[in-house]
Amino acid sequence: MRVATWNVNSVRARSGRVVDWLQRADVDVLAMQEIKCKDAQFPHEAFEQAGYEVVTHGLSQWNGVAFASRIGLADVEHDFAGMPGFGKPLPDGSLPLEARAMAVTVGDDVRLWSLYVPNGRELDDPHYA
């Protein structure tokens, strides 16, 4: 099984490049980060035409994670226990969760996570907490 990960920095702008690379590199499963789109905006058709099943976790034009697999996807899970939130507190005092984590099971029960971890900020930035 060939597994790869790619911070695509906007999958809608790069879907052709991503799909072409998947086929050339003979990748079975791709974990994507920073898809920068809602689930309904993801270019599913391009991946499906190349033989890949896709699951996404995108909430807006920021963040977002996804998987493309030609060997099946099962047990999809968004977020994880204890995942930190960020932004303006919700009415219950908790912080909203961003679309930064998703797990899937592929092949013969291989569990994979696609994680988009904050980067490129000052060390004291609130995202790092």
| 129 residues of the chain, pLDDT tens digit each | 999 999 999 999 999 999 999 999 999 999 999 999 999 999 999 999 999 999 999 998 889 999 999 999 999 999 998 888 888 899 999 988 889 999 999 988 999 999 998 776 787 877 666
CB-based burial, 76-106: b 16+ in 10 Å, e otherwise: eebeeeeeeeeeeeeeeeeeebbbbbbbbeb
Q: What is the pLDDT of residue 60?
A: 83
Distances (CA, A) of 92 to 75, 88, 95, 122: 29, 11, 9, 29
Q: What is the pLDDT of residue 127?
A: 67
Q: What is the pLDDT of residue 39?
A: 95
Domains of the chain are 3-128 (3.60.10.10)
Pair of tokens at residue 19: 């799909």
Q: What is the pLDDT of residue 129?
A: 67
